[in-house]
Structure 1
Amino acid sequence: MARKIVDVFLRDRLVASYPVVLTFDRRVIDEDFVDRVKEQMRVGSFSPDDVAGARFVVRSLHDRG
């Protein structure tokens, strides 16, 4: 099991932070976390343009950034 936080920035402004837990039978990479957040954004209140233009920062649950 892998756990990380994904911060979402739109126009250099932090707009959301998602805690993500992934359980795969393979090695997990940061892009896996970003893909999961993009899925959540699409079903949430973000437009397709927002999702396409967002910048994502993946960090450890222990980071205090």
Structure 2
Amino acid sequence: MRDYMTRDGDMVDLIAFETYGTEDAREAIYEVNPGLADLGLTLPAGVTITLPEWSAPKPSVPQSGFNR
């Protein structure tokens, strides 16, 4: 985990995309930063938040009913 200080106009979705390459990490960011959602969609500048270790889940491979 590492800390990140917000800049004017930052949004959790944008921070997730810039840090992890996808917005999918936003839920993980909210989980490790209780109360972050209370600050609104656009975060005030100067708020220190924790960015968790995160990697995208592996997509599941569909199983076919056929044996080859």
TM-score (norm 2): 0.28
Query: Would you tell me which structure has more strand in proportion to its own residues?
Result: 1
TM-score (norm 1): 0.29
Q: If you compute each CA radius of gyration, which structure gives the higher value, 1 or 2?
A: 2
